[in-house]
Amino acid sequence: MAARHVARSWMAPNTSSENLLYTTEACGGICVFSYPGGTLVGELADSNYPLGECVDKSGDVFVVDFGADGGTAGIVEYAHGGTSPIATLSDPGYYPEACSIDPTTGNLAVTSDSSGSGTGIVAIYAEAKGDPTDYVDPKIFYMGSCGYDDKGNLFVDGQYDHQGTFELDEMLEGSNKFKKIKLTQAPGSPLKLQWAGKYVALAASNTVIDHVAVTGSKGTVVGTTLLNGPVSGEGQFWIQGNTVIAPYEPGTGSAEVGFWKYPTGGRVRKNIGGTEFNYGEPFGTAVSLAQQ
């Protein structure tokens, strides 16, 4: 974890009218950049160990707080461009890592490490409020990330054993149970996933993002995005239109965030951060669009 913490929250004037890129952990808190410009416009100090992020239709940003070093695990919600949390949700007894918002209901799903219980846990907060309902996926030993599709179906990935064997499961809208998705081409250890319009974008490393079309219980890899360059294998990638954003290690002793074309991939088009990230590698990346 980063050794330094943001001392106070601040945001440059008029940022609420801009598109914003939120990044977690590396700056000792949450760094906010203009998007796609890449200028540092704010820092948020209200999380102890911020990891994954997700964004709702209103542009509100949800930041998962792992709760390490004596902190309390939970989820912190910010309005687009805001400096203070508008809500804080508790996830007691777990170590949350990633989140996703259901576009059909506004429900918030959060994946957690189950503290050695041997089952994956997804906490779902109805309309992103109150106390969650926990759903257990007994097929997953370690829960990785999650992503809702445009119909309210929830995909989760993780490991189903100590050897790190990959598992992709789905909980259909209206169901309370997970089913296994049999992949035609399985990646290695799980990392992150995101719904990408027609398929699940699934990364076993941030360098390789597979496009998985799911029909019933079958997942077919129909394409792959290869990101050239020293991409960090730890953090959360984010797809925004024709751009994929991911933690980037340029080999200069600093950590950054890189932009690539999507889905073509190839060489990094732009990288930002650097001096703002002198305290560690960025983990979460998420774009919040200004509301019209």
Query: Most confidently modeled of 78-82, 207-211, 274-278?
Result: 78-82
CATH of the domain at 193: 2.130.10.10
SS3 18: coil
Confidence of residue 114 (pLDDT cuts 50, 70, 90): low
Question: In 10 A of CB 71, how many CB atoms?
Answer: 12
Domain contains 138: yes
Domain contains 1: no
The sheet with strand 192-195 has its strands ordered as 182-183, 218-226, 208-215, 200-205, 192-195
pTM (predicted TM-score) = 0.93
Report the range of poorest mean pLDDT among 144-148, 207-211, 272-276, 287-291: 272-276
Domain contains 135: yes
**CB contact set of 100 (below 8 Å; sequence gap of 6+):** 54, 108, 109, 145, 146, 147, 148, 154, 195
Domain contains 136: yes
Domain contains 182: yes
> Which structural domain, as residue segments, surrounds residue 184?
10-288
Confidence of residue 214 (pLDDT cuts 50, 70, 90): very high
Map tokens 């027609």 to a residue: 198
Domain contains 276: yes
Q: What is the pLDDT of residues 141-181, one digit of tens each?
A: 888 899 999 999 999 998 776 666 788 999 999 999 999 99
Count of domains forming the chain: 1
Domain contains 2: no
| Interatomic CA distance for residues 201 and 262, integer angstroms | 11
203 burial (CB, 10 Å; 0-12 / 13-18 / 19+) is buried
What pLDDT is attached to residue 155? 97
Domain contains 23: yes
Q: Which residue in 138, 139, 155 sits closest to 147, CA to CA? A: 155
What are the DSSP calls for 26-89, one per residue? TTSSEEEEETTT--EEEEE---SSEEEEEE-TT--EEEEE---TTPPPEEEEE-TT-SS-SEEE
